[in-house]
Homo-oligomer: A and B are copies of this chain.
């Protein structure tokens, strides 16, 4: 950490900073220039909020933190890209992974039909919500345990692993009985106790980016999961909130290369929640793959106009069928492969 003093800072102010730093068991190295003094702090651990504290001291112009706040999620800690095996599917490898399925599990027929359709089109993981976070308390909130059972049935029928959201620590055990991957939604992305509890559950976790989360905050949220000993975290960009209102959220496609520069964790794109309108989903899905995403999460429904949630952004089976070959083509164009379910022929 570097403390840049103001040009008119006096000796007493400099000494005050040095005394505070030493009181913390850290070393202070002074560099006195013609114009101003700069203090380098050495030693560890640095208190996480030391920069905030020092920045408001009198005589201080600016504090610069040099070390990163995140550790386990960074390349320094884990210099190989993380690959996550979920049953027969490998996430984070050469092949891009397509997760698809309905926003909400509504019935066995709806879910199994969708599972079969998306598998035939090339998806390898089935998504579906049994517990749904809703902006209004008066909206449909999912089938709960029955929804989880239906997802398990769809897995048996198709061989595809499943992913579903968990919203509160008390549900982790039950959801964990069924799911292959836990999903943490955008609104819970900084629900730290949920992150820790799900980190203990011993299964991969997909962490959606919060609506107004900075990159470092996103990694620190993943850090909560990893700090419990769970290395298998997948990050999923689903759009951020900006002034632009023509889309439900603004897909920050740059997050893909930015995160890949900071972290070894796989990054996915969710074009459905970003767009909010199905007509925009294909363009965003292709953009995500072109930007280097490790996979996509796409909402598909047998009859979107009758969906109990997010119908407006769900693709029909036909639209999804049309999209996957285009995803495969763009994946190849950027040096990735696209592999449907390995045991597909057998099922």
Chain A positions near chain B (C-beta within 8 angstroms): 2, 4, 7, 20, 29, 31, 33-34, 36, 38, 40, 42, 48-49, 52-53, 55-57, 61-62, 64, 66, 69-70, 76, 133-140, 167-170, 187-188, 190-194, 196, 211-212, 214-215, 217, 220, 223-224, 227, 240-247, 250-258, 261, 274-280, 283-284, 286-292, 304-305, 307-312, 326, 329-330, 332-334
Which listed residue, B2, B170, B286, touches A64 by the CB 8 Å rule?
A: B2
What is the total number of copies of this protein in its complex? Answer: 4
Contact of A250 among B4, B169, B250 (CB under 8 A): B250
Also in contact, A243 and B242, with CB within 8 A (given A49-B309, A66-B4, A286-B334): yes
* A42 touches which of B33, B191, B223 (Cβ 8 Å): B33
B243 touches A212 (CB 8 A): yes
Tell me what chain A mostly uses at the interface: helix, strand, loop, or mixed.
mixed
Residues of B close to A258: CB separation below 8 A: 246-247, 280
Once the chains bind, are A241 and B217 in contact (CB under 8 Å)? no
Alpha-carbon distance between A188 and B188 when the two chains are bound, in angstroms:
7
Q: How far is the CA of A214 from the CA of B194 in the complex (A)?
A: 24
Output the least CB separation between A327 and chain B (Å): 9
Whether A136 lies near B31 (C-beta < 8 A) is no
A20-B305 in contact given A212-B241, A214-B245, A333-B326 (Cβ < 8 Å): yes
Bound CA–CA A219/B167 (angstroms):
21
